[in-house]
Amino acid sequence: MSAERISLLAPAKVNLFLAVGDRRPDGYHDVVTVLQKLDARVADTVTIERADELSVVCEPAIDIPAEQNLAFRALLGLGALAGREPRFSVTLRKRVPAAGGLGGASTDAAAALVGACRLWGLDAASPEVTALAASLGADVPFFISGGTALYAGRGDTLVRRMDTPPLDLVIVNPGVPVPTPAAYAMFDRLLCPAVPTVDRMLGALASRDPRTIAAALFNNLAEAACDLAPEVAEALAFVTQSEGVLGALVSGSGSSVFGICEDAEAAEAVARAANTRPAWRASATAASPGGSVGGDSRFVSR
């Protein structure tokens, strides 16, 4: 009996290093970034079931039409690629904050692609599916492979994968969104200093030492995020000053911030303290290897 339904975890990410450069002729910016996948404590659940037509529902609901959801667009693209009608009912159980710099829409799209490929017997790691993923958003190819990786170009060109370091982290979202286009528009208005090369972070990752990695954290979009939403600056200061935090940073274009902690107990303590603040959402988590292709899934056949 063939599988009729599949559920996959769609984990979030943080940017351990993010250097945004000049705007390119295609309207995007040059980007060098080190992406790190998180474990299941900060993840959506994506359930795909065979149906009569394509539909996407979010729980809790988000204020965009289903047709604009990145998972919906991903399955339309996969259907065109495979020459098949994508007759799937998709449920996104959301735990990753929207417009939070953690890749929520991209990880959902990646999980939807992987799930549909499994139901159709396709290779989610094929060059064709990878190209489709890149066309949807810079982070989508990363979420298919996961782990720890260096990307360049507009953030969608894989340079190299690395061993995942042993990192205990805390994620704090201050309850306000920072849309990525707004962050980049603010970035273009600011006078940003020259950025460092990624070499220091790559050396830190090779050392596998959390303190060394924490000292190499960098994100030149952080100022733009903090200017757009002062709550981001407040959350960053809170995490930076918390006991047991080795280093803290805004993730991506915000609004979430993260801290690399001394150990799992410190991460849990910071998360508990942050969750006493009105509107804040916090969770302890850890760096995690692997991606949607490699597992993190549950099959339910009937």
Residue 26 falls within a domain, yes or no? Answer: yes
**Which of 119, 136, 161 is the endpoint of a domain?**
161
Q: Are 217 and 184 in contact (CB under 8 A)?
A: no
Q: State yes or no: is 13 an active-site residue.
A: yes
Q: What's residue 301's pLDDT?
A: 33
Cβ neighbours of residue 261 closer than 8 Å, sequence gap 6 or more = 168, 169, 170, 210, 244, 245, 246, 267, 270, 284
Q: What's residue 261's pLDDT?
A: 98
Q: Is 215 exposed, middle or buried (0-12, 13-18, 19+ CB in 10 A)?
A: middle
Same structural domain for residues 27 and 99? Answer: yes
Strand order of the β-sheet with 148-152 is 157-162, 148-152, 29-37, 13-23, 218-219
Same structural domain for residues 178 and 154? Answer: no
Q: Are 23 and 181 in contact (CB under 8 A)?
A: no
Residue 61: give its domain's CATH number.
3.30.230.10
Same structural domain for residues 201 and 258? Answer: yes
Q: State yes or no: is 39 an active-site residue.
A: no
Domain that holds residue 157: 5-161
With b meaning 16 or more CB within 10 Å and e meaning fewer, what string describes 146-169? bbbbbbbebbbebeeebebbebbb
Please provide the size of the chain in residues: 302
Same structural domain for residues 181 and 95? Answer: no
Coil/strand/helix, residue 37: strand
Which of 139, 156, 168, 296 is the catalytic position? 139
15 pairs with which residues across the strands? 35
State the Cα angle at 57 between 271 and 47, rounded to 5°. Answer: 75
Residue 297 falls within a domain, yes or no? Answer: no
**Which of 104, 128, 161 is the endpoint of a domain?**
161
Same structural domain for residues 68 and 196? Answer: no
Residue 209 falls within a domain, yes or no? Answer: yes
Same structural domain for residues 198 and 157? Answer: no
Q: What's residue 48's pLDDT?
A: 97
Residue 299 falls within a domain, yes or no? Answer: no
pTM (2 d.p.) = 0.93
- List the pLDDT tens digit at each of the 302 positions of the chain: 357 999 999 999 999 999 999 888 888 899 999 999 999 999 999 999 999 999 999 999 888 888 999 999 999 999 999 999 999 999 999 999 989 999 999 999 999 999 999 999 999 999 999 999 999 998 999 999 999 999 999 898 999 999 999 999 999 999 999 999 999 999 999 987 789 999 999 999 999 999 999 999 999 999 999 999 999 999 999 999 999 999 999 999 999 999 999 999 999 999 999 999 999 999 999 999 976 654 443 333 32
Residue 298 falls within a domain, yes or no? Answer: no
Rounded CA gap, 143 and 165, in Å?
Answer: 17
Q: What's residue 3's pLDDT?
A: 73
Same structural domain for residues 137 and 16? Answer: yes
Domain count, the chain: 2
Strands (E), 182-223: 218-219
